[in-house]
A and B are shown apart, each in its own frame.
Chain A
Amino acid sequence: MKLEAITGTKKVVTGNHAVSYGVLLSRAQVIAAYPITPQTQIVELLSEFCATGLLKAKFIKVESEHSAMSACVGAAISGVRAFTATSAHGLALMHEMLHWAVGARLPIVVANVNRAMGPGWSVWTDQNDSLSQRDVGMIQLYCESNQEVLDTVIQAFKIGEKVLLPVMVILDAFVLSHTSEPVDIPSQEMVDNFLPPYKPQHYLNIEHPASYGGLTNPDHYFEIRIKIEMAHRAALKVAEEVDKEFQEKFGRGYGLVEPVNCDDAKVIIVTSGTITGTAREVIDKERRKGRKVGLLKIRLFRPTPRERIREILTRAEKIAVIDRNISFGHSGIFAQEIKSILYNEPRRPPIFNFIIGLGGRDVRPEDIEEIIDYVFKKDQPTEDFTLRGVRL
């Protein structure tokens, strides 16, 4: 197998393999991973790439996800580009080391296939796994299509390496991970032209023997933490620039958020992941019916493009946030986020929250139509969130 034969061409690939191609073209140098459904195909294909020499990387077949992330931290601090992929319980097991990667300011890329948490065991999609990692400080990007998955992996390395933060690229279980779509796989030359080799600012250097991550007393810790926050602020601008450059070089861009028909929309639906694709269809249909409905896709969840979201949403009369997740005892997580962003605005449209599709329950166009009908009929939400498609 030659690299030229499988890149620089259009192929029909699954979301998982789109990740693998993205990692191949990004020339990851150390990969460490542990199998978990529905992620496993990502690392299976990467194993093949490494075995055939297409990808000149060390692949450490670790004994747990905790070790997968630890190995990536070790590799990154030695000065190389590191990657791992996981899902659900694997991500939960990594949790401690996600904090470590952030605190150590290492630009590791983690692909997470959104899968529901057990028990009962579920391999199907929802967002509670990645959203449970909201506060570790990683950049989080939610993808809608397999093309976006591949492109976002390449962008993720560039964003992470510019601001020194780890980046999570997120795709829905099965709806993307195991579903094939035509994907434009760029040539290595194009990707090299976009993503230069990783040049670490800090690494374990025999010539300059320093200690990293040691005991940090209250005189220093606060500042170091706030520098992570500053990196997140910088990441907003960097992510935008990187996406713009990507658009120029590859002819495809996604934005940090994507407004669809929002300019004159009375109701704006907020989505993330593959529900966005379904919502696009519904919006078109509703528009044809004469209803002024818009869609806001959240791609970059952390750092949150707050300004941009405010700018778009404050123009609407009503907002409907669709969450494929739940923060038990509160509400949907995206809805909480949107509410907090708009709270201090003089113009605050009512925000409806819909929780739908947990554990991979199908989210159909009809569900979104019903949501739109519901919001159009009501002036104000009458409950903290509304459940859709649940039998109680």
Chain B
Amino acid sequence: MLIWVCALHCEAKPVIDFYRLKKSHDDNAFDLYLGDGMACIISGIGKIACAAACAWIAARYRQQPSLAWINLGTAGARDHELGSLFSLHQIIDADDGQRYYPAPASADKIPGSACMTLSRPSDDYRDDCLFDMEASGFMYASLRFSSAELIKSLKIVSDNRQVKTGNNRPEVSRLVQQRIDSITRQASVLVTLNDEIAALSPTTEYWQRLIALAHFSQTQRNRLRVLWRYLMNRNFDAEKLLAELAGCPRESIIKTLEQLNYQDSEGL
């Protein structure tokens, strides 16, 4: 599951259009757009709003085996041209100095940049970093649910010392739209990584059926999870296994799965 987090609808619109995401009418805490294996949440401006949106959507998708995240938004810069796209490699919270290191750009050469997250808008730009208002809140929250390799923050320059377009919503959408190919290529790479991690978790339905076969203690469940996960990753037939184990006492179920693990790993 890939989650896009944008402060404003105008920042998200090119992504919503590209993936043809549909607005969810079941939720009213945040505007949410859904597609196949993908969601886009509009958090509102500021790091607290962004962190709240991340936590809310992570709770909504808590059954997902793995979540990947992209924070897409605009940023201010001293000298960079409007429309320049950056993948953040360092995010500094201006209030508490906390630093975060999201995954760098992959697949194609989007330049990296540091970014300082401010609580209030400022055009007192520094030459070594971008300014934004969400990235540190995004990192703070998303790191609770996923590893840094599955988290990216992409920023498009909307304001610099000469020109300010951050408040011009159609122009913000146009700047993002200009970069949609690079942005979606980043998303594809992240989805592939996320799928790899998600595939390591066994299907919930089979797992539930396995633990319903007998009354297992928590320790036995922990052991079962390791054994079952290995067999599922080695493409054992879950239906067939469950049928063979049905009616067996719990110790025998564990022993059978252990033997299968040992036999399968003998040849390495």
Asked if A pairs with B, the answer is no
